[in-house]
Chains A and B, each alone.
Chain A
Amino acid sequence: MDIAQWSAQLRKGAAELVVLSILAGGEDRYGLQILEKANGGGDIVSEGALYPLLSRLEKDGKLASHWVVNDGPHPRKFYRLTSQGAAALPVMTQAWIKFRTAMSGIVETGQ
């Protein structure tokens, strides 16, 4: 089987929760900061997937954004969690914990 494709599918499902969790601290972050934080512990989300995902989350109302022009050498688009995004996060986190526990019970105890 194609292990690379399979793990890409795994990461795709996780990316939204990862982005919301990274922004949960309340600090505004721009795309590259989110990307580096997401991939700090291993490859989770690629840049080609992150930017469209940020756009979709913004359209869904879970994120809000603003451009900062004067702060660096080039304009940066900063994102923050909206109240809707903040409300979705604990629900998704709970679902993730249940999923992870169930998976561990099946997959890891056999070893």
Chain B
Amino acid sequence: MNASMISPQAADGAAGRYLDRLQRALRPLPAAERDAVAAEIHSHIAERSAVPEASVAVILSALGEPEALARAYLQDHEMAAALHRASPGRLLASVLGRATRSVTALAVGLTAVILYALGLSFALVAIMKPIAPANVGLWRGPGRFSMGFLASPGPSTSELLGLWIVPLGVIAAVICYLAATALIKRGGRILLSRSTARRPL
């Protein structure tokens, strides 16, 4: 039988109040998962209560406060959700926040920063080209090969791309942005799974 077919039955008294509080504290979980947790805890309470000398109060106190129990269920869920939702900026900040403790975080964070900076400069070049066509481009001259803004390109310096630099710059900027974002998401996931593995139950 599937877990989603189980719905929590009403329980009376202290057990009912406990399950209500548990359900409320589990609200961040999807409804089916929340119901399955409540049904399992309800089943536990019912099973324990079936013994003649059983005390509901003792059974509930062994489970701990419903909010504390819910927290144990939510930890994994919240971390995964945060990773899913987080903006690249927040992810990058959290990866860099670990950079002093982890070589992986440092490498991932720095590479992402460089890629974002590179993407930004490609985008700037693409934007500046139509504004200052004579001064922006991919330049080649004696001892020089560069991209960007030149205040006074000398006669020996030639521009290689012309207006093509606009679409190419946009494409390069997008590629850099996507690569950096994919990198910190992946890196964030690896760092997260390590901290999950270390975390006590």
- B62 near A52 with CB under 8 A, answer no
B69 contacts A76, C-beta separation under 8 Å: no
Q: Shortest beta-carbon distance, B47 to chain A, in Å?
A: 5
Residue B151 CB within 8 A of the other chain: no
Q: DSSP class of B's interface residues: helix, strand, loop or mixed?
A: helix
B30 shortest CB reach to chain A, Å: 12
Query: Is the Cβ of A67 less than 8 Å from the Cβ of B64?
Result: no
Interface residues on A, range: 20 to 34
Q: State the CA gap A96–B42 with chains docked (Å).
A: 34
Q: How far is the CA of A46 from the CA of B64 in the complex (A)?
A: 9
Interface size class of B (residues with CB under 8 A): 20 to 34
**Given A32-B48, A75-B6, A77-B3: A49 and B201 within 8 A (CB)?**
yes
B73 in the interface, Cβ–Cβ < 8 Å? yes
The A33-54 residues at the B interface (CB cut-off 8 A) are: 46-49, 51-53
Q: A12-B201, A52-B72 are in contact. Are A69 and B46 (CB under 8 A)?
A: no
- A to B contact number (C-beta, < 8 Å): 72
Pick the contact of B41: A16, A51, A66, A68 (CB < 8 A). A51
Which DSSP category, helix, strand, loop or mixed, fits chain A's interface? helix
Q: Does A93 contact B (CB under 8 A)?
A: no
The reply to whether B72 and A30 contact each other, CB–CB distance below 8 Å, is: no
Cβ of B191 within 8 Å of any chain A Cβ, yes or no, is no
Contact call B44/A48, Cβ cutoff below 8 A: no
B131 interface residue per 8 A CB criterion: no
**Given A12-B201, A13-B200, A48-B62; A65-B46 close (CB under 8 Å):** no
Contacts of B6 in A (CB 8 A): 67, 69, 75, 77
A2 and B62 alpha carbons, distance in the complex (Å): 20
CA distance A15 to B41 in the complex (A): 19
Could you say which residues of chain B place their CB within 8 Å of the CB of A12? 200-201
| B103 interfacial by beta-carbon distance below 8 Å | no
A77–B168 alpha-carbon span in the complex (Å)? 58
